[in-house]
Homo-oligomer: A and B are copies of this chain.
Amino acid sequence: MVVEMIENIYRALFYLEDLREILRETAPEHHLSEEQRTKFDHIADELQAMVDERGGRKLKYITDKLELRTKEEEFINIDPIQAAGRLTVEARKALIAYGDGYSTCDYCFKPFRLDYIKRPPIAEFIEELAEFVGMDVARVVRGARNGFQIVATALLEKGDIALVSSLAHYSLCLAIESVGAIWKEVPLNEQNIITGENTAKKIEEVNEQTGTMPKLIAISHFDYMLGNEHDVYGIGRVCKEYGIPFLYNGAYTVGVMPVDGKKIGADFVVGSGHKSMAAPAPTGVLATTKESAARVFATTKLKGDVTGRQFGIKEPYLLGCTVMGAPLVAMMASFPTVKERVRHWNEELERSTFFIAQFLEIEGNQVSSELPRKHTLTKVDTTGSFDRIANTHARRGYFLYDELTKRKITGIFPGATREFKLNTYGLSWSQITYLANAFKAIAEEHGLSVG
């Protein structure tokens, strides 16, 4: 029934896009040819039939080979990276209205730069973004990784060393490698945490071994692997002491919890739109202080040797305008909700904590992340529970995925029964309860004791 409802909604949405297409084809006079008229009437009839619940044909594909995606409507999605990147309804509406290539550029006037555009209110949004993360200046970038790249390109020379976490995301390491610099890792302490102390030790070590200081320290507040909280305040202090720029990686914080970059002592704050700001990929934010803005948002200096051309206030490390279209407008449309939701992070943690407690009631279940949980992203260890079942199950490790899918839960890596990650961000209490009960039921049905 629900699946039919989803299909019906998609069908109606698509009929409306078909109607819209006829308006586009015939603009501005909208004289419909006979063929267009027939098509228009047909679509309107289909839509009417659908609203009258007179049924309709099955819908599985958008176009050749491209399936509908109904994961968010049919399932509880606990995918570790997807949870906080789900669009708000406002963002989905914005995508509908601003899909076309250069849709944001209708009112781009002097000085011709994305972050100056007033209609839609991009300039205002970007100012608010800086404030939102407690910094002076911000830009929307093409994903958090593009933020890392901009900083790496501006600050690092070939052979320079940058320090990252032993749990750093690969994209940060690639950004450093891409400019010919080298990343070295700050070790975790015994609690799997990056501390200010270990960061200082590593700085000294690098200095001893190479005779130079690291040129950048880039650490995530919460890492992608365990969702542990790292001592960004301590690291911020150490960076200040040594005079090394500190990039705060907020891919898992900006957009879900309050972030105050200056209080942390960050020179750069990087966030991810599609990971934590209810925005489509590829979007992100790079924010900085007034002082560092001059470096990373430096304007172009070269001049044409033949024409004498210069490109004014364009920013080379950003390549000028960044995300000039649909994903930006969708990010903006989500922003009021995002600003509000960070104030309710504690409620998210409560639900996550509730789920983890329930999950740990299953015999043999463990949590690899720090406890108590400070994030909705958690790595769990079911080697002593679900993996034991997998050993003798006909479907091996896939049994867990199958059982969850049957219960309309998605986002767990297929086949994984030892360690896997999940993220409860955005689930309501009833969904959280449903999720916890589902895991318990699967455990019980397979002979694990619960309780």
Confirm or deny: A256 has a beta carbon within 8 angstroms of a beta carbon on chain B.
no
| CB-defined contacts of A320 to chain B, threshold 8 Å | 145, 170-171, 174
CA distance A79 to B432 in the complex (A): 49
The stretch that binds B, out of A7-15, A238-246, A345-353, A364-372, is A7-15
Residues of B within 8 A of A44 (CB): 51
The distance in angstroms between the C-alpha atoms of A89 and B19, with both chains bound, is: 10
In Å, the complex CA distance between A153 and B87 comes to 33
Docked-complex contact A28 and B98, CB < 8 angstroms: no
**A294 contacts the other chain (Cβ, under 8 Å)?**
no
Task: Give Cα A19 to B324, complex, Å.
Answer: 29
Which of B18, B29, B102, B184 contacts A89 (CB under 8 A)?
B18
Flag if B76 contacts A101 (CB, 8 Å).
Answer: no
Any B CB within 8 A of the CB of A119:
yes
For chain A, residues 302 to 324, give those with C-beta under 8 angstroms from any C-beta of chain B: 302, 304-307, 311, 314-317, 319-320, 322-324
Given A97-B62, A434-B28, A319 and B171 contact (CB-CB distance below 8 Å): yes
* Cβ-defined contact, B281 with A177, below 8 A: no
Separation in Å of the A212 CB from the closest CB of chain B?
15
Rounded to whole angstroms, the CA-CA distance of A142 and B124 in the bound complex is: 24
Query: Do B179 and A153 touch (CB < 8 A)?
Result: yes
Which residues in B have their C-beta under 8 angstroms from that of A234? none
Residues of B close to A18: CB separation below 8 A: 89
Is A195's CB within 8 Å of the partner chain B?
A: no
Instruction: Give CA–CA (A106, B79) in the complex, Å.
Output: 9
Given contacts A73-B20, A73-B23, A97-B68, contact A170 B102 (CB under 8 A): no
Check if B28 sits within 8 Å of A281, measured CB to CB: no
Q: Mark A16-31, 1 if CB is under 8 A from B, else 0.
A: 1111110111011111
Give A29's nearest chain B residue, CB to CB: B434
B62 touches A333 (CB 8 A): yes
Number of copies: 2
Bits for A424-437, please: 1 = Cβ < 8 Å to B, else 0. 00001011001000
A101 to B120, Cβ gap below 8 A?
A: no
Q: In the complex, A90→B68 CA distance in Å?
A: 12
Q: Is the CB of B281 within 8 A of A102?
A: yes
Q: Is A54 an interface residue, CB under 8 A from the partner?
A: no
List chain B residues, Cβ under 8 A from A5: 23, 30
Task: Determine if A274 is an interface residue (Cβ-Cβ < 8 Å).
Answer: yes
Residues on B with beta carbons closer than 8 Å to the beta carbon of A182: 302
**B19 and A76 form a contact (CB under 8 A):** no
A30 and B2 contact, CB distance less than 8 A: yes
Q: For A388, list chain B residues within 8 Å (CB).
A: none
Q: Taking the complex as formed, is A91 at the interface, i.e. its CB lies under 8 A from any CB of chain B?
A: yes
Q: Is A232 an interface residue (CB 8 A)?
A: no
Q: Which of the residues B87, B121, B186 comes within 8 Å of A101, measured between beta carbons? A: B87
- Assuming the contacts A76-B27, A92-B96, asked whether A317 and B178 have C-beta atoms less than 8 A apart, the reply is yes
- Who on chain B is nearest to A187 by CB? B306
**For window 21-54 of chain A, which residues contact chain B by CB distance below 8 Å?**
21, 23-25, 27-31, 44, 47-48, 51
Q: Determine which residue in A17, A102, A319 has the highest number of CB atoms from chain B within 10 A of its CB, and name it.
A: A319
Chain B residues contacting A47 (CB-CB under 8 Å) are: 12, 51
Q: List 28 A-B contacts (CB under 8 A).
A: A5-B23, A10-B97, A13-B96, A14-B93, A21-B89, A27-B75, A28-B409, A31-B430, A62-B90, A63-B93, A63-B336, A65-B124, A66-B90, A66-B121, A66-B332, A69-B98, A82-B100, A82-B105, A87-B101, A101-B281, A145-B320, A148-B319, A171-B319, A174-B315, A281-B325, A282-B327, A325-B327, A326-B327
Closest 7 pairs (CB-CB, A-B):
A85-B101, A281-B325, A28-B408, A101-B274, A185-B306, A280-B326, A21-B89
